[in-house]
Amino acid sequence: MSRTRRTDDLRVPAGLLIPAALGVAILVLPMVGLIVRAPWGDLPSILTSDEVLTALRLSLVTATVSTGVALVCGVPVAWLLARTTLPGRSVLRGLVTVPLVLPPVVGGVALLMVFGRRGLVGGWLYDTFGISLPFTTEAVVLAQVFVAMPFLIVAVEGALRTADRRYDDVAATLGATSWTTFRRVTLPAVMPGVLAGAVLCWARALGEFGATVTFAGSFPGTTRTLPLEAYVAINAGDSDVAIVLSLLMIAVSVTILVGLRDRWIGAA
Amino acid sequence: MSLDADLSLRRGDLELRAALTVAPGEVVALLGPNGAGKSTVLQLLAGILPLEAGRVELDGVTLDDPAEGVHVRPRDRRVGMVVQDYLLFPKMSVLENVAFGLRSRGMPRDRARAEARQWLTRMGLDGYERRRPGELSGGQAQRVALARALIVEPRLLLLDEPLAALDAGTRPAVRAELRRHLGGYGGCTLVVTHDPLEAMVLGDRVVVLERGGVVQQGEPAEVARRPRTDYVARLVGLNLLTGAASGRTAQLPSGAVVALAHDATGLVHIAFPPAAVTLSPSRPEGSARNAWPLVIADLEAHGDLVRVTADGVVPVLADVTPLAVADLGLEPGGQVWASVKASEISVYPA
Amino acid sequence: MRRARLALAVTAAALLSVACGGDDGDDSSAAPSDEAAAETTEPADAPTGTVTVLAAASLTESFEALADQLGDDYPDLEIVYSFGPSSGLVEQLLSGAPADVLATADTNTMDDAVAGGVVDGEPRIFARNTLALAVPAGNPGNVTGLADLANPDLRIAICEPQVPCGGAAQRLLDAAGVTAAPDTLTTDVKEAASLVALGEADAALIYLTDAAAEGDAVETIDVPETDQVVNDYPVALLTDAPNPEGAQAVVDAITGEPGQTILGEAGFLAP
């Protein structure tokens, strides 16, 4: 790690510097710990093991599909929240962002109560079509969407609120329908916010654990994503695998975040 | 084709009640201070804000009639809008911006683009088709915004402070050009501005809006010569007094008497330019002159001259040379006599 | 692009929390809150302080009942439990988790702890448990025996093979010659029990005691082979126990009275 030192660093008050250093340490030390404890010699064999590759593939696919679902459903929700005067809008905003603060396990239980085989919707699906969601890859996606979509909604709503609404007015005077206006004017204007939201959403979906294990279960290839694989490994007393999986998740995330960050700064 | 609007809306501190008409081919300049309700008028006419009471009729079609529950949506009104910062869609090329209205109305892309190209040619913007709005100068952006609005053949064109975003150097040329383009447009045009020069140059008629109401309207020369409110008088650079005339004198509310050149009766406006005011240290000699002892409130550079604000029985603005300021020893708080020849005063019914 | 950068910062924090495994705590710890009985005459050598017990999830109900009873005898002794899959508990101990007593659901996991040098003295078997074929009330999947666990149309929950209940399940299935088609592998026997109780799983192999703990929501199907697979539950004092006296008192209570009675009532077999 390289560090650039500037003369005005000296003026940083200790009252800020010390807690800041502590904060950074809390955030960074766990990663350092993983790197120190990692079984580097066994790394290649662990990374290429069937279980890890299977979990990695499942994680990438489900997180990406979840982000897609969140984009299709979440952007319109953000639009409703930012651009309409729906009665009860603030209640709606509270409701759709609850998963941000809800323990994911609770989310998983809630999903089970609704989409489980005896749940409100799940019961009907099962009795009518014989469709049962728990223990399927679709359930993993549903759990990830539940937990991660609020990140996208919040980011996109913020972007919509700061976007200049007069562009929409101009488009309307030019004869554009509200759908055309949304598609050709509003959406391009908030695209950076949508991208940021999608990345957040994807990263959160990739790391999703609690709701997934509760609602979708844990079976290799179907529902056992990387975080679940890591959890199984630690509970089976296989901490090496758990460490490697954690490093893998960090590496994937850091690569993507750094890559996107550079692109954004280049565009700005 | 004409606009006939009777607007009524309460919005925050603003209580708007204004009637407006614009004849076909006519350019009406809506002039007023900040907060007078000018932009609200535009939003109402564009249909972005709903009218509370009144009626808007354009080209024989009722666009708004709240009493009858009529409100035509912005996109169905055929009312074009060009705003101060133009609001060109930043992610689209210039050509796509101009073609947007036609595409939105379902015209196939190629035809819409061909037509947009013709408009760009007409606006002198050949070769700019693929530029992004961010790469244009203020004047170019304005022409693109104008082309984008006019291509869909609106019956009413609304311009909101069209020159305010330009720097002072380019403003005269763009203003002249805008005047030319508006001259070639057959529909009704309403230009909102707080700049009197802009209103005088662009407008066939000037409508002055203050505190939500129309306080004066007429041809630019008429408004410039005969202001009816302090705001307009200040804009056109005239002293404006109001008094009760009888014969060749008029009495002001302060009790001061103004001598007039011609007979007049009833409540009148009395206007005279600051340059017609003479300042002197003592009561000037001469019979038919108006002379009042005043206290100087403020001195301010005004071009080559110094504008003196003097208070007393008759509040007066006077333009004098810097030399006169020195000779007379003028300074705020000092006493001075102000005199105006009756022949310099114009009097018209209030 | 300030927004984007802020977003990234938030993302980074979220990822870290995942990387640190701090997503959810599944180990529920229960501390009995018997504020001392109004007894003033107690033996001078009565244990005091806090005793931390790491125990297999299948012991949850029994050990909590035990803590309630001990509270009467030792009002100044507080027992704090951390229940979870035995293998996970041992992993925590080997990473340095401070605790006084370890009780696991099989001897393999206890052997790992002994090999890791965290156990003081010889572990003692205090209970034995058998597996049960558990189904939701009413048996909606019409499960009749272990062979049904191979039916891909039924939704089957089995413990992860590396945890004791999963190891036991594997031995049982091997003994019966059945290749199961599970839909989920839980890391904790209680998870599997809950899935059956909720009706989300048509059948699960869980401990007899866990099936009993779910009450009316769960039925068990008689399976003759279950007698062949019996898990021994060992308990041990830990080397670095902060409270060895208290720990000894708890272990004595588990291996003697009142522990044996409570465990017996829960369906555990005597050692």
Give me the architecture of the C26-35+44-128+232-265 domain, per CATH.
Answer: 3-Layer(aba) Sandwich (3.40)
Q: Is A182 on the interface with B (CB under 8 A)?
A: no
Look at B87 and A167 and tell me if their CB atoms are within 8 Å. yes
Average pLDDT on C40-67 reads: 75
Of the candidates A169, A176, A189, which has its C-beta nearest B104's C-beta? A176
Flag whether pLDDT at C36 surpasses 50: no
| Whether the predicted pLDDT of C17 surpasses 70 | no
Strand B156-160 to strand B79-82: parallel, antiparallel, or no bridges (unpaired)? parallel
Q: How confident is the model at residue C220 (pLDDT cuts 50, 70, 90)?
A: confident
List C-alpha distances in Å: C19 to A145, B265, C13. 20, 91, 10
User: A179 is in which domain, residue-wise?
Assistant: 42-267
Q: Where is pLDDT greater, at C93 or B63?
A: B63
Interface confidence, given as ipTM, is: 0.79
Contact of A15 with A234, CB cutoff 8 Å:
no
Residue in chain A closest to B72 (alpha carbons) equals: A173
Does residue A187 lie in a domain region? yes
- A–B touching, 3+ CB–CB pairs within 8 Å: yes
Tell me the chain A residues in contact with residue B40 when contact means C-beta distances shorter than 8 Å. Answer: none
Contact C3 A112 (CB under 8 A): no
pLDDT for the residue numbered A64: 94
Residue A9 confidence (pLDDT): 53
Indicate if the pLDDT at residue C104 is higher than 70: yes
Check contact C-B (3+ Cβ pairs < 8 Å): no
Instruction: Please indicate if any CB of chain B lies within 8 Å of the CB of A164.
Output: yes
CB proximity C10 to A under 8 Å: yes
Shortest CA distance from A176: residue in chain B:
B104
Give yes or no for residue A159 having a pLDDT over 80: yes
Give A-chain residues touching B47 at CB under 8 angstroms. 172-173
Position C38 scores a pLDDT of 39
CA of A93, closest CA in chain C: separation in Å? 19
What was the pLDDT predicted at C10?
Answer: 38
Give the mean pLDDT per block of 10 residues along chain B (350 residues).
86 87 91 87 90 89 89 89 89 93 91 92 88 89 90 90 81 84 86 88 91 90 90 89 89 87 89 90 74 90 89 90 89 90 88
pLDDT of residue C115: 84
Does B187 lie at the interface with A, CB-CB under 8 angstroms? Answer: no
Mean confidence (pLDDT) of chain A: 85
CA distance A242 to chain B (A): 46
Give the global pTM.
Answer: 0.74
Give per-residue pLDDT as tens, A8-24: 556 778 888 889 999 99
Q: Is C51 helix (H, G, I), strand (E, B) or coil?
A: strand
Check residue B144 and give its pLDDT.
92
Q: Answer yes or no: is A166 within a domain.
A: yes
Facing B75 at nearest CB: one of A167, A176, A189: A176
Average pLDDT score over residue span C98-115: 85
Average the pLDDT over each of A172-186, B326-340, C38-52 and give the range with the smallest value.
C38-52
Distance CA B107, CA C197 (A): 62
A-B contacts at Cβ under 8 angstroms = 63
Among A192, A238, A249, beta carbon nearest to C19: A249
Taking 70 as the threshold, does the pLDDT of residue A260 lie above it? no
- C42 — pLDDT class (breaks 50, 70, 90): very low
A112 contacts C200? CB cut-off 8 A: yes
Higher pLDDT, C227 or C38: C227
**How does pLDDT run across C118-177, given as a tens digit for each residue?**
888 788 888 888 888 888 888 888 888 888 888 888 889 998 888 778 888 888 888 888
The Cα-based distances of C196 to A117, A138, A268 in angstroms read 11, 21, 54
Given pLDDT bands bounded at 50, 70 and 90, which one contains residue A263? Answer: low
**CA B49 vs CA B41, B43, B71, B289, C5: distances in Å:** 9, 5, 10, 54, 36
Nearest to C207 by CA among C249, C250, C251, C263: C263
> CA dist B36 to B192, B220, C85, Å?
11, 19, 74
Q: How many domains does chain A have?
A: 1
Distance of residue A127 Cα from the nearest chain B Cα, in angstroms: 46
The one-letter amino acid code at B287 reads S
Q: Is the pLDDT of residue C53 over 80?
A: yes
Contact A173/B74, CB-based, under 8 Å?
Answer: yes
Which of these ranges, A173-187, B87-101, C45-59, has the smallest mean pLDDT?
C45-59
pLDDT band at A6 (very low <50, low <70, confident <90, very high): low
Q: Map tokens 């020893």 to a residue.
A: B329
> pLDDT band at residue C12, thresholds of 50, 70 and 90?
very low
pLDDT value of residue B94: 94
Question: Cα(A14)–Cα(C57) distance, rounded to whole angstroms?
Answer: 47
Nearest chain B residue to A164 by CA distance is B87
pLDDT of residue B29: 92
pLDDT of amino acid C16: 36
Q: In the predicted model, what is the mean pLDDT of residues A108-114?
A: 87
**Number of Cα atoms under 13 Å in the Cβ half of residue C264:** 9
Q: Pick the residue with more confidence: A261 or B25? A: B25
pLDDT band at C262 (very low <50, low <70, confident <90, very high): confident
Confidence of residue C78 (pLDDT cuts 50, 70, 90): confident
Report residue B284 as tokens. 């000037």
pLDDT computed for residue C22 by the predictor: 37
Q: Where are the domains of chain C?
A: 26-35+44-128+232-265, 129-230
Residue A1 banded pLDDT, cuts 50, 70, 90? very low
- Convert B304-325 to b/e letters by CB count within 10 Å (16 or more is b): ebbbbbbebebbbbbbbeeebb
H or E stretch including C244? Answer: helix C244-255
CATH numeric code, B3-88+136-234? 3.40.50.300
Listed by start position, the domains of chain B span 3-88+136-234, 237-349
Domain B237-349 fold is: OB fold (Dihydrolipoamide Acetyltransferase, E2P) (2.40.50)
C160 touches A: beta carbon within 8 Å: yes
Fold annotation for C129-230? D-Maltodextrin-Binding Protein; domain 2 (3.40.190)
Q: What is the CATH number of the domain that holds A173?
A: 1.10.3720.10
